[in-house]
């Protein structure tokens, strides 16, 4: 029996996602046994500050990267949207999943059916805050950190009027019933990679056992969305958004670019062959940046 060890964050969502990968591998390979090894990351430990103040996405992957390098694990399973745009070349992304629902959603406190305008909406990412202002111009936003369960607890205790979360996480946790409004990707462009799982491994170990898990459309979308964000250097704190839809051999990529100097932002769209996601992502990034700069 060959054994593969998956490194995972220890939140319930992370474990559920790792179990999905474990199942896909074991269902397609009778001779492989998969074990999940969980750990707390710095991003999970520091909950009193917003992510952009403490160093961004990297904080969720550092400990998992170290376990891979130390050979304590063979692969790491991540939500692609939590992955930095540049991954170390010794630890490449080996596979991308089929995409779960990519939309952001509104969640109300348990038993509540209307939005209480006297309380803020819980939402920490600048990407969501910026786009929410258009949808609910008279609502305040207030930061909320912690894993999905922690955030829902804070919501239900009455601190917030609502939360904005990713549909994907709620659905994977069996909490779909808590969703009260879906935002279409055009009205709230999701984060690059939202809804896609990424499997990271060690260079030189191709992970042939991930073939059945891998999804080509997920891969095309990931490449285009991440090229857009990378080109804008949308590190962790800038509210860039990117969402690609792949149909047949075509890709439709939407993006949002925010200019930190002027506070202006621009949304746009580009279409082209699915294999050219990298080039399309870069073209859209350049176009939106030029439009923003030319308005000055
Ligand atoms: N930022 C945390 C995070 N990372 C991935 C997901 C959801 C699952 C996904 O996008 O695949 C979430 C929760 C959320 O934003 O609501």
Question: 141 by DSSP, 3-state: which?
Answer: strand
pLDDT at 177: 97
Ligand 1 atom with minimal separation from the 165 CA: 16
What pLDDT band is residue 142 in, cutting at 50, 70 and 90?
Answer: very high
Ligand 1 and 82: CB distance under 6 A: yes
Whether the Cβ atoms of residue 285 and residue 231 lie closer than 8 Å to each other: yes
For the Cβ of 169 lying below 6 angstroms from any atom of ligand 1, the answer is: yes
CATH topology for 1-99+196-213? D-Maltodextrin-Binding Protein; domain 2 (3.40.190)
Confidence of residue 207 (pLDDT cuts 50, 70, 90): very high
Q: Give the model confidence (pLDDT) of 78-92 as tens digits.
A: 999 989 898 999 999
Whether the CB of 41 sits within 6 Å of ligand 1: no
Q: Residue 51: CB within 6 Å of ligand 1?
A: no
Class of domain 104-182: alpha beta
Average pLDDT over residues 99-116: 97
Residues of the chain with CATH 3.40.190.10: 1-99+196-213, 104-182
Is 156 annotated as catalytic?
Answer: no
| Backbone dihedral region for residue 248 (phi beyond 0: left; psi -120 to 50: alpha; all else: beta) | left
Whole-number pLDDT of residue 40: 85
CA nearest to 96, candidates 184, 234, 224: 224
User: What band does 146 get if pLDDT is binned at 50, 70 and 90?
Assistant: confident
Model pLDDT, residue 38: 95
Burial-class residue 4 by CB neighbours within 10 Å (0-12, 13-18, 19+): buried
Q: What is the pLDDT of residue 41?
A: 77
250 has pLDDT over 90: yes
CB-based contact 191:83 (threshold 8 Å): no
Determine the Cα–Cα distance for residues 41 and 44; give it in Å rounded to an integer: 5
Are the beta carbons of 256 and 265 closer than 8 angstroms?
A: yes
pLDDT of residue 293: 80
Distances (CA, A) of 202 to 87, 94, 266, 285: 11, 9, 38, 30
Probe residue for ligand 1, chosen from 166, 171, 188, 196 as the CB with the greatest number of ligand atoms within 8 Å: 166
Which range, of 146-150, 153-157, 209-213, 292-296, averages the lowest pLDDT?
A: 292-296
Q: How many angstroms does the Cα of residue 239 sit away from the middle of ligand 1?
A: 15
Q: Which of 17, 51, 79 to mutate to test the pocket of ligand 1 (most atoms within 8 A of CB)?
A: 79
Active-site hit among 82, 104, 215, 259: 82
Q: Which atom of ligand 1 is nearest to the CA of 196?
A: 11
| Ligand 1 atom index nearest CA of 102 | 10
> Domain 215-296, what architecture?
2-Layer Sandwich (3.30)
Residues 43-53: pLDDT tens digits? 666 666 665 56
Helix (H, G, I), strand (E, B) or coil at 261: coil
SS3 217: helix
Closest ligand 1 atom number to CA of residue 151:
16
For the stretch 60-71, pLDDT in tens is 788 899 999 999
**Is any atom of ligand 1 closer than 6 Å to the C-beta of 148?**
yes
15 C-alpha to ligand 1 centroid (Å)? 13
224: pLDDT strictly greater than 60: yes
pLDDT for 261: 80
Question: According to the model, what pLDDT value does residue 48 have?
Answer: 65
225 in helix, strand or coil? helix
Scan for tokens 């692609």, then name that residue. Answer: 80
Nearest CA to ligand 1 atom 5: 79
For CATH 3.30.160.40, list the domain ranges present in the chain.
Answer: 215-296
Residue 236 pLDDT greater than 60, yes or no: no
Order of strands, sheet of 197-200, starting from the edge strand that comes earlier in the sequence: 32-39, 2-9, 75-79, 197-200, 93-96
Q: Does ligand 1 lie within 6 Å of residue 167's CB atom?
A: no
Closest by CA to 109, choosing from 151, 47, 171, 166, is: 151
């Amino acid at each position: 029996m060959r054994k593969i060890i998956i490194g995972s964050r220890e939140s319930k969502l992370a474990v559920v996602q790792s179990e999905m990968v474990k199942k896909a591998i074991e269902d397609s390979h009778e001779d492989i046994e998969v074990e999940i090894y969980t750990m707390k990351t710095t991003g999970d430990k520091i909950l009193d500050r917003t992510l952009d103040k403490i160093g961004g996405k990297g904080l969720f992957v550092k400990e998992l990267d170290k376990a891979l390098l130390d050979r304590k694990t063979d692969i790491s399973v991540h939500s692609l949207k939590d992955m930095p745009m540049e991954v170390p070349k010794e630890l490449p992304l080996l596979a991308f999943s089929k995409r779960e629902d990519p939309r952001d959603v509104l969640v109300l406190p348990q038993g509540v059916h209307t939005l209480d305008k006297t309380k803020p909406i819980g939402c920490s990412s600048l990407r969501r805050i910026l786009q929410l202002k258009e949808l609910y111009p008279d609502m305040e936003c207030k930061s909320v950190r912690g894993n999905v369960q922690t955030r829902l607890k804070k919501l239900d205790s009455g601190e917030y009027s609502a939360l904005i979360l990713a549909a994907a996480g709620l659905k994977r946790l069996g909490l779909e019933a808590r969703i009260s409004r879906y935002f279409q990707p055009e009205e709230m462009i999701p984060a690059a990679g939202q809804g896609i799982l990424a499997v990271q491994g060690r260079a030189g170990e191709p992970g042939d056992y991930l073939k059945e898990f891998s999804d080509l459309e997920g891969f095309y979308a990931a490449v285009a969305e991440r090229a857009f964000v990378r080109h804008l250097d949308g590190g962790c704190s800038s509210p860039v958004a990117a969402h690609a839809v792949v149909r047949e051999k075509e890709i439709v990529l939407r993006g949002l670019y925010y200019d930190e100097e002027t506070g202006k932002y621009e949304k746009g769209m580009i279409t082209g062959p699915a294999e050219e996601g990298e080039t399309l992502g870069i073209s859209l990034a350049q176009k939106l940046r030029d439009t923003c700069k030319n308005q000055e």
